[in-house]
Structure 1
């Protein structure tokens, strides 16, 4: 019922058609986004004649293929015209049986009989801007009312990757290793060159103090990063940039905050009064992966 296709075996026309007509459509499952974020290291599980599909990205660790969501890719999962619990269970069981898994995130629309861990995401569905702004928290609205002096000496600009790169590197938080930062930067660069990424900068006294990074396609704008000069956080430039992006896009596109498990970031997002959209995932420790790998090797010897 379910076939496993390597990258070069995928019928991308059928894949795209299934994704775009699906009840679960997500920008992060598009070929363009996956190709860039995973460096084309993904394959596909297919039900029937592309009636349902499930992209599976992976990395190599010590030459061993391990399923792992790419950087900046929050949700993948199963895509079909209607979400079907029985079919979802087939995909889940196939994934568990045939892969070593570190982290795999399903999308907010996928439901299962199996109990799975969940995480939070926040988004604002398309609406007129006045209605969306009217729902902002009182605190967020206050943050958006800048002092007259700041207004007189500030401006918002869309800038190029080369203009944004050094500021992002200097103000990057949350990456454990230098190579992780380099990988983020590389993905940003490739997405910008593919014309699907925007760098919006808040200038104060002709100096950048905030940059917001958004991915965009025809249906979604996704917040992939906010970078702030820690000496100027009280200016609330990031709030202004996000609000501007919402104002420009929300009449026709979803604004996806991409969630966060960090309390302060979650509180910041919630100030825009987005909708909570939890999603499921499976996650295994390195210890569990090694244990499964050893058991597979033992079985192969029998």
Structure 2
């Protein structure tokens, strides 16, 4: 009932139609996002004639296929017109039997008969901007009231010089090692060059001090990155940029904060009073992954 397809075997007309009509619809499952983020290294699990689908991103280590969500891809999972626990369980059982899984994030609509680990995400759903803004926390509203001097000497610039953008990410990308940082920069650049991502910069006295990266689909926006010059954080440029994007798009698009495991970042997101939307995932240690691989090897032999 569930079958596995390699990338070159996928009927993308049927796949795109399934994603478009899915109750779980997420931009992470769009072909354009997956092709760029995985470099076209993904399988597809299919129920019947594309009545439900499940993208499976892959990396290869020592010739072994390992499942892990690619960078900047928070949620995948099962996509269908009606979310069915029974069908989701079929996918889950097939998935864990056939693949060696390090990390896989399902989507926030998927339900299963068995308990799974949950991670947090935050969304603002389409509404009138003034209604959305009224829900912001008092602290967030205060942060958005910039001093007149700041207003007189600042500007927001969208999609400025890409090399300047890259250099700013390098100088502000705290907590990431150099290799990971370059991979993020490369991925963001590819999305941007494929007209899927916009950069918004907050310039104060003509100097870039804050920047956000926004992934865009016609039904959803996602905050894929926030970058701040440390000495200028108190000016609240990032809050101002996020609010601007929300004000221009929230009547017709979901705004996705992408969630965070860092308490300070989660607190920052909560200031915009988004809805908490936890999503299930499979997450194992590298030791358990090795045991998975050994068991599957013994079974195959």
Shift of 1:10: 0.3
Distance in 2 between residues matched to 1:77 and 1:298, nearest whole Å: 28
1:132 aligns with 2:132: yes
Shift of 1:291: 1.2
In the alignment, which residue of structure 2 is the partner of 1:173? Answer: 174
List alignment gaps of at least 5 residues for structure 1: none
1:36 aligns with 2:36: yes
Shift in alpha-carbon separation, 1:215–1:13, aligned structure 2, 3 A? same
Shift of 1:259: 0.5
Decide which moves more: 277-286 or 165-174: 165-174
In the alignment, which residue of structure 2 is the partner of 1:12? Answer: 12
Q: For 1:169-208, what aligned pairs fall within 5 Å after superposition?
A: 169-175=170-176, 177-208=177-208
Q: For 1:40-59, what aligned pairs fall within 5 Å after superposition?
A: 40-59=40-59
In the alignment, which residue of structure 1 is the partner of 2:143? Answer: 143
Distance in 2 between residues matched to 1:18 and 1:134, nearest whole Å: 36
Distance in 2 between residues matched to 1:9 and 1:123, nearest whole Å: 34
1:242 aligns with 2:236: no
- TM-score (normalizing by structure 1): 0.98
Distance in 1 between residues matched to 2:300 and 2:212, nearest whole Å: 50
* 1:108 alignment partner, SS class: coil
Distance in 1 between residues matched to 2:156 and 2:64, nearest whole Å: 46
* 2:281 alignment partner, SS class: strand
Shift of 1:299: 3.2
Q: Deviations over 1:53-99 (max 9, x none)?
A: 00000111222110000000000000000000000000000110000
Distance in 2 between residues matched to 1:199 and 1:29, nearest whole Å: 22
In the alignment, which residue of structure 1 is the partner of 2:297? Answer: 297
* 1:49 alignment partner, SS class: coil
In the alignment, which residue of structure 2 is the partner of 1:218? Answer: 218
List alignment gaps of at least 5 residues for structure 2: none
Q: Deviations over 1:148-204 (max 9, x none)?
A: 1111110101024333111011111232x3211111111111111100100000000
Structure 1 consecutive aligned stretches of length 4 or more whose deviation exceeds 6 Å = none
* 2:222 alignment partner, SS class: strand
Distance in 1 between residues matched to 2:104 and 2:175, nearest whole Å: 20
Count of residue correspondences: 300
Distance in 2 between residues matched to 1:67 and 1:165, nearest whole Å: 29
Decide which moves more: 155-164 or 87-96: 155-164
Q: For 1:37-116, what aligned pairs fall within 5 Å after superposition?
A: 37-116=37-116
1:265 aligns with 2:265: yes
* 2:223 alignment partner, SS class: strand
Decide which moves more: 84-93 or 61-70: 61-70
Distance in 1 between residues matched to 2:149 and 2:228, nearest whole Å: 20
* 1:241 alignment partner, SS class: helix
Distance in 1 between residues matched to 2:298 and 2:24, nearest whole Å: 39
Distance in 2 between residues matched to 1:277 and 1:296, nearest whole Å: 34
Distance in 2 between residues matched to 1:295 and 1:19, nearest whole Å: 33
